[in-house]
A = this chain, B = another copy of it.
Amino acid sequence: MSDHDIFELGDTALQSGLVYRQAKLAYKTYGQLNADKSNAIVYPTSYGAQHYDTEWMIGAGRALDPTKYFIIIPNMFGNGLSSSPSNTPPPYDRQRYPHFTLYDNIQCQHRLITERFGITRLKAVIGWSMGGQQAYHWGALFPAAVERIAVICGSAKTAPHNFVFLEGVKATLTADPAWQDGWFAEPPRRGLRAMGRVYAGWALSQAFYREEVWRTLGHPSLEDFLIAGWEGNFLRRDANNLLAMLWSWQRGDISANPLYGGDLAKALGAITARALIMPSATDLYFTVADNEAEMAHLRNAELRVIPSIWGHRAGNPLGNPEDEAFLERALRDLLDGPG
């Protein structure tokens, strides 16, 4: 018994030139699609996450209200539910896993909404982090199919510093003894714990630690926060899957495709959806400055900075009522306003 559905994509040609045989897109829906199919929202997943990790943002009376909207969470490739290193059969298993770009992800998500649900136009695509990057990709790749996008702590193209941060994460994970011949045959416990500690510094701000905000999450000490909050978060993931999603993240770029040929300004300018761009004031890798630079090329966008010391986590405000209220308000404004 599974709580989600699988969309069988069949043999799927990827940007890499490889064909993923019998690709599977795992998704979960919330609420009902209305008669004219005008109330659908796509809410993609973030790095490492499955729909279990983000569905808490969906609820009656909330901005993502399943009594009003038909909400679809497509699980990103590599996250263990959709096609991923952990579930790919030979000969494309292990070191031969055929990687999915975010472009590939969105092509498959588009097939899901059109072929399975007959939806031609989405009310919105909303996402945080890599989910926000997917929202951006939706806006650029299928302008006619998206009325609104919300990019929360995300960017149209992974910034060079963000790339370097991820190089550090990748090198940390693969320093583990279990990394052999381009594959983890067993869980790299040292590497996953180390990844958690490296991530802890990046995902939250200097001020978050200065003010010991982790206490509000129930941790009596910093070390408890690092073990329970960070090591634990990565130890429960599949390390090969984490590397696959990292691969996609490092290559995130709405213009890296034949439509735009690497011209980011052109890709941003092609977005017709109403765009709500919401960086966190203290995000260390999806920075306000990167979003500000995008604004010059967007034609129908608002930059609304989340005034938070929660760093990147301001956009996934579990346990953080203030940022959650800010985000809810902003999403309501987007969904209730013009497309």
Minimum distance in angstroms from A180 CB to a CB of chain B: 10
Verify if A159 is at the interface (C-beta below 8 Å from B). yes
Provided the pairs A165-B201, A167-B197, A201-B165 are in contact, do residues A210 and B160 lie with their beta carbons within 8 angstroms?
yes
Bound CA span A21–B167, Å: 42
Provided the pairs A194-B174, A284-B284 are in contact, do residues A222 and B160 lie with their beta carbons within 8 angstroms?
yes
> B160, B176, B188, B194: which contacts A209 (Cβ < 8 A)?
B160
> B193, B204, B210, B289: which contacts A206 (Cβ < 8 A)?
B289
Interface size class on chain A is 35 or more
> B160, B198, B205, B289: which contacts A172 (Cβ < 8 A)?
B198
Contact B201 A168 (CB under 8 A): yes
Q: Classify the interface of chain A: helix, strand, loop or mixed.
A: helix
Using a CB-CB cutoff of 8 Å, which residues 145-177 of chain A contact chain B?
A: 159-165, 167-177
Provided the pairs A174-B190, A190-B174 are in contact, do residues A207 and B289 lie with their beta carbons within 8 angstroms?
yes
Q: Which residues on B sit within 8 Å (CB–CB) of A174?
A: 190, 194
Q: Which residues on B sit within 8 Å (CB–CB) of A170?
A: 197
Bound CA span A222–B289, Å: 21
Bound CA span A189–B161, Å: 24
Closest to A311 in B: B161
Verify if A131 is at the interface (C-beta below 8 Å from B). no
Verify if A74 is at the interface (C-beta below 8 Å from B). no
- When each residue 206-222 of chain A gets 1 if its CB lies under 8 Å from chain B and 0 otherwise, what string results? 11111010000000001
Minimum distance in angstroms from A186 CB to a CB of chain B: 13
Verify if A200 is at the interface (C-beta below 8 Å from B). yes
Q: Which residues on B sit within 8 Å (CB–CB) of A198?
A: 168-169, 171-172, 198
Q: Which residues on B sit within 8 Å (CB–CB) of A179?
A: 190
Verify if A226 is at the interface (C-beta below 8 Å from B). yes
Verify if A287 is at the interface (C-beta below 8 Å from B). yes
Verify if A44 is at the interface (C-beta below 8 Å from B). no
Closest to A177 in B: B177
Contact B167 A200 (CB under 8 A): yes
- When each residue 43-58 of chain A gets 1 if its CB lies under 8 Å from chain B and 0 otherwise, what string results? 0000000000000000
Contact A201 B167 (CB under 8 A): yes
Bound CA span A173–B194, Å: 9
Q: Which residues on B sit within 8 Å (CB–CB) of A315?
A: none
Minimum distance in angstroms from A176 CB to a CB of chain B: 5
Q: Which residues on B sit within 8 Å (CB–CB) of A284?
A: 206, 284
Q: Which residues on B sit within 8 Å (CB–CB) of A168?
A: 172, 194, 197-201
Bound CA span A163–B210, Å: 10
Bound CA span A206–B158, Å: 12
Q: Which residues on B sit within 8 Å (CB–CB) of A207?
A: 289
Verify if A252 is at the interface (C-beta below 8 Å from B). no
Minimum distance in angstroms from A45 CB to a CB of chain B: 24
Q: Which 5 A-B pairs have the closest CB atoms?
A: A171-B194, A168-B198, A177-B177, A160-B209, A161-B209
Beyond contacts A164-B226, A175-B191: 17 other A-B pairs, Cβ-Cβ < 8 A, are A159-B209, A160-B210, A160-B222, A161-B205, A161-B206, A163-B209, A164-B200, A167-B200, A167-B226, A168-B194, A168-B199, A168-B201, A170-B197, A171-B194, A175-B188, A177-B177, A284-B284
